[in-house]
Chain A
């Protein structure tokens, strides 16, 4: 049995929330730098140069990269032997949300969370969305992806016909990106979830975003798609250009004989993601 105290989790999540809002992962920065170098002269290239300057300003001035500090989505991976000492908290979800609340104060994040219909602001930037994923013995990890809703709003899911095949999947991905156009702050990252059930495909698409840059069994297809996406000429900020997308990642799962679910989760260039392991 592995015991983990709520105090430890809250403290680590608090720091993760602050870190994710201010610093993007190194590989994301590399992608942007490469895009800047490859983009021809013009407004799009200038936008990329300002993005790079913004990343430096956020670090130096200890400010969130973007004022939309996102809706926090946590992926908690826990082994079967992990026991959480909950203290006064009822659930692991409450513990994670307490870390989010504290981190949001510490990092001066925006209170972007409201009730869906009445639109009442919780004023704590919480709760986030917490997914619990069963993992191997001894493991306890918390991944956080903080996506703004400019890009989240352009994400889509389709229940395609089972016989539609690869071409239909590609068309749906390309159509979704065309429709999104300048709205999600391109150059974008794309997570595609293919297969499973309705909600599994959506979940896979977000996990795909978290897994960008890691070894992929679909790398060849991803590279083909990336080429096609970058021929759409949407470009940085939608101002036309070579760099519409920085990377795409596909996750698949077995599905039903009657269906082909496809979910596309789009992230802005400020792809803010981080993970802690306790």
Chain B
């Protein structure tokens, strides 16, 4: 199984991946869901600085449960990606190379992945307890007032994912 380290070094590392490939993720990724996307894209449109580097990074659509004592993070599975579709193309244009969530996406995201040589990944929906074991560090880095919809930084090790849209615009969902 292919291992991918984030942030990507050049962005080329993901170009050989094909829709349907199972991969394991390592490194640092950023977490943002609905409310954070709305705020982030508004900030970017107003020429404000993004609270995290967008270039060669991954955004994971997720809102965790609070960590019980002694745990790094609570349950942390993916949320439905299609709700973020309206915000995704501009983020890909600004350098984001991968997004991760669950479920299919609209045509415009397939086109945007092709255009910006980005990928869309899915991970196991509803399996937040299982996925928590691949998270090694967890930190809120922005929009704390949106808790649990803040922007978080995760350090992950072997986090499982499946390529659902590849950089050529092939997709796992052919319906």
Q: Which residues of A contact B (CB under 8 A)?
A: 43, 47, 50-51, 53-54, 57-58, 61-69, 108-112, 119, 121, 123, 148, 150, 153, 181-183, 185, 234, 237-239, 268-270
Contacts and interface: CB of A to CB of B under 8 A. Distances in A.
B67 interface: yes
A110 B125 contact: no
A50 B130 contact: yes
A183 B104 contact: yes
B79 A150 contact: yes
A54 B175 contact: no
Given A110-B64, A182-B103, A66 B130 contact: no
Interface string B138-175: 00000000111100000000001010000000001101
B103 A43 contact: no
- Tell me which of B22, B65, B77, B147 has the highest count of chain A C-beta atoms within 10 A of its own C-beta: B65
A179 B40 CA distance: 29
A181 B127 contact: no
Q: Which 3 A-B pairs have the closest CB atoms?
A: A54-B130, A58-B129, A54-B127
B20 A43 contact: yes
Contact of B124 (A64, A181, A237, A238): A237
A68 B76 CA distance: 9
A111 B145 CA distance: 13
B130 A53 contact: yes
- Tell me which of B66, B103, B146, B148 has the highest count of chain A C-beta atoms within 10 A of its own C-beta: B103
Interface in B100-152: 102-104, 122, 124-130, 132-133, 146-149
Contacts of A68: 63, 77, 79, 128
